[in-house]
Structure 1
Amino acid sequence: MDYSRLDLVRAWIATAVAGLLALGGGSLLAPGIVYDRFVWQYFWGPVVADAHDAQCAIRSGGDVVTHTTASACTAGADAVLARPGYTIVSEVGYAIVGIFALLGVLAVLRRLQIGTDRRFVGALVPMMLFGGFLRTIEDANDAVITATDGAGAWIAYPLNTILISPVIYVTVFVVALAGIVVCLWLERHDYVERYTTPLAAYGAAALAISLIVLAWGVLVRPEIGFYPQVPILTLGLATAIAVGIHYALDRWWPVVTAGTGLAGLAVLWGQAVDGVANVINGDWASALGLPVTYTPKHPANRIIIDVTQAIFPADVVAIIGTSWPFLLVKLAVAIVVLWLFNEEFMDESPRFGVLLLIAIVAVGLGPGTRDMARATIGI
């Protein structure tokens, strides 16, 4: 047995447990500061509000109430108010947890002796799409809750929290890990040549199930619509942009794509889907006949929109919109990532490189798919 790999996993688990104990101890010793004003206000409270399809959740004296109207979202000095979505504090916190989680996943991949093959990235793309559509099932559930005053909910609180960000990342990870373990068993018992092939099929099956659930909702619930122009435009434009950029880089700046190969195309496509979905939802929803006006939930996107509005005159913004710089930023970041992940880096740290590529594709494709799917069913 390779004890170095085992020790790395144990060290990660020990660190995670120590962090949870510190957070739990702080919540017990200073609940008003650590739990109410930090954990609940920035992390769990937004999940609770989202799970009730509310404008806010207010915690006071250990009791929590949710409100569906913005005018009711006022809190006294002793109460803590949380709104669905993200803040700078929560995004920094999730970034730190995400980096730590990546180290844990890296330890697990080393323990399983997988993750150096770039085909692993492509094999997980269906699972990333599944995550976005699974999150949209919760959005559809919220629409049903609002329309029926909670009587027709598909999934009730607190179970629906497993489908809300960031908890859904854990849910999808567990589903993916189960598939990886099973597919590895198939490979190592000579049932398949490579575990990546059944893993891609496993992800595709999960994706198909989520699509069937959403299609059922479209058929049986009047508050859920269907606007096929959204996925056609989103996937069509994103694919054209990603393929075009990858082809141009491969032809005229090949050093950028040499280290990642087709995995680099997945990186570009994931970021393009997220960027195009934001542009369509933010600037062209009414032009496409969508019944909902979408606003960005991430601070970074809101900042880019605010800067665009400040730079360009109002009459220009009315024509070109404010969300398109987000697409340009996403694509620029993707190109920089491909440039950094050169042949030398991928050869020296193949497993770490593949894991980072997976994470980069996921943070684009997951939210982008969700934004696209929400607009597709008009919620």
Structure 2
Amino acid sequence: MDELSDRIDPARAWVAVAGAITTLLVLGSALFPSRVYAGFLWRYYWGPVVADGTRGAECAVRHNGETTFYGSVAQCQEAAGYAATPGYTTVSTVTYALVLVFMLVGVYLLIKRLDFDYSPATFYALVPFVFFGGALRVVEDVSVAVGPDSPVAIPFPFSALFISPFIYFTVFFVTLSGVLGGIALARRGVVERFQVPLAAVGAVVLTMTLAWLAYAVQATDVVGFNAIVPLVTLGGATLLAGATWVVIEQFAPHINRGTGYMGLVIIWGHLVDGIANVLSLDFGPELGLPAYGPKHVVNGFIHNFTPKVQPAWLTETIGGTWPFIVVKLAAAVFVVWVFDERIFDESPGYALLLLVTVLAVGLGPGSRDFLRATLGI
């Protein structure tokens, strides 16, 4: 058994598994289009992207090889075929989690083959790319909001590159290009550390994306700018993360011993997500924002369940989504505690990769939520 494991190249095995799964899905879609493609791939993955990328569509319905869009919930429920609505379902959420784990294994196998530095500097150099992913998603939100005839609109299906799950691949390849380019420059002696050009690439693509959003504010009346949203979101996350860090350092410093200030960034990123959700879902009318609904399973459950168990007057005062901040904070602190010094000593590459992923899970959607609310779309 040991001899067999020694003969198997993990990287080639990963590629073989990825190829086998892709082949099965392609053949299944070709041989059983109604069941495999329409009933599974389209219903849970491509259909929500199509619905999300179509202005005014409550859902997209696939029936007899054709896609029809409906603008009301009643029409969606009465339509024959497979209906897909914007956002995530339990099936897609679980599947994306599995794909994420599989992709992480692939990235880990890749960086093992590279001359990679697993120091905190690499983590910090990747932070702009997490912001970039959230901001890039808002580009598509703006495109849908302004309509297809606007000069800032990105036509479908090109906008699908900015919609989940395809946006993850877009951001991944941009980030991978920055990593490979930085390593190449470092090996040639152009720079001393590859993190410098890597961070520069992240800063450039993030700045370009934010500049495009600023242009959209000037180019159309549909997109506005509400300064109170980033002020409360980023300011509140900074204050709460800082206070949490001080308490941990004072009473339980062992929690931060493994991650150092990377843990502070993790906590801050998840608080951005939590506060942005509370502002959008509970205080939208007070901030002059459009009506938002939860798109994720966890915050959707909290948003709908909390008003049932807390007094009505409390819900009217602070809303029903506030426990999401507590959940995000507790989860982030728990992750920071789990990543102790032993994990970094035994497997620094794996630990760094997971930390970046944990940050992306919080700061990625959080940056999208607060930017979208900032623009009022």
- Conserved in 2, the CA contact under 8 Å of 1:257 and 1:264? yes
Q: Identity percentage over the alignment?
A: 43
Residues 195-234 of structure 1 correspond to what in structure 2 (within 5 A)? 195-234=194-233
- After TM superposition, list the pairs within 5 Å mapping 1:17-28 onto structure 2: 17-28=19-30
2: CA distance between counterparts of 1:67 and 1:144? Answer: 19
Aligned runs of 1:40-51 on 2, under 5 Å? 40-51=42-53
Q: Is the 8 Å Cα contact of residues 115 and 354 (structure 1) preserved in structure 2? A: no
Deviates more, 1:120-129 or 1:352-361: 120-129
Give the aligned partner of residue 330 of structure 1: 328
What are the superposed Cα offsets for residues 119-154 of structure 1, whole Å, 9 maximum, x if unpaired? 211111111101111110110000111xxx656562
| TM-superposed deviation, 1:202 | 1.3
In 2: Cα distance, 1:48 partner to 1:72 partner: 17
Runs of 4+ displaced beyond 4 Å: 149-153
Partner of 1:37: 39
RMSD: 1.7
Partner of 1:294: 292
The answer to whether the 8 Å contact 1:5/1:110 transfers is: no
Instruction: Pick from 67, 70, 80 the counterpart of residue 67 of structure 1.
Output: 70
Shift of 1:368: 0.2
Instruction: Show the counterpart of 2:353.
Output: 355
Please report how far the alpha carbon of residue 308 of structure 1 lies from its aligned counterpart in structure 2 after TM superposition: 0.9
Instruction: Please name the residue that 1:307 is paired with.
Output: 305
- Residue from 87, 90, 93 that aligns with 2:92: 90
Structure 1 portions without partners, runs of 5+? none
Q: What letter corresponds to residue 125 of structure 1 in structure 2? A: V
CA distance in 2, matches of 1:250, 1:108: 36
How far apart are 1:247 and its partner, in Å? 2.4
Task: Give the match for residue 340 of structure 2.
Answer: 342
Indicate the SS of the match to 2:146.
helix
> Displacement of 1:103 after TM fit?
0.5
Deviation at 1:165, TM superposition (A): 1.0
Q: How far off its partner does 1:344 sit?
A: 0.9
Query: What TM-score do the two structures reach when normalised by structure 2?
Result: 0.94
Query: Could you tell me whether the CA contact under 8 Å between 1:56 and 1:67 is conserved in 2?
Result: yes
Cα displacement (A) at 1:6: 10
In structure 2, runs of 5+ residues without a counterpart are: 1-5
Spell out, residue by residue over 1:64-123, the C-alpha distance to the aligned partner (whole angstroms, 9 max, x if none): 12233434324544x111101011111001111111011011111111132522221111
TM-score (norm 1): 0.94
Matches within 5 A, 1:362-377: 362-377=360-375
Quote the offset at 1:5 in angstroms.
12
Give, in whole Å, the separation in 1 of the partners of 2:150 and 2:236.
Answer: 39
Match of 1:141 in 2: 143
1:270 aligns with 2:263: no
Counterpart CA distance in 1 for 2:322 and 2:158 is 36
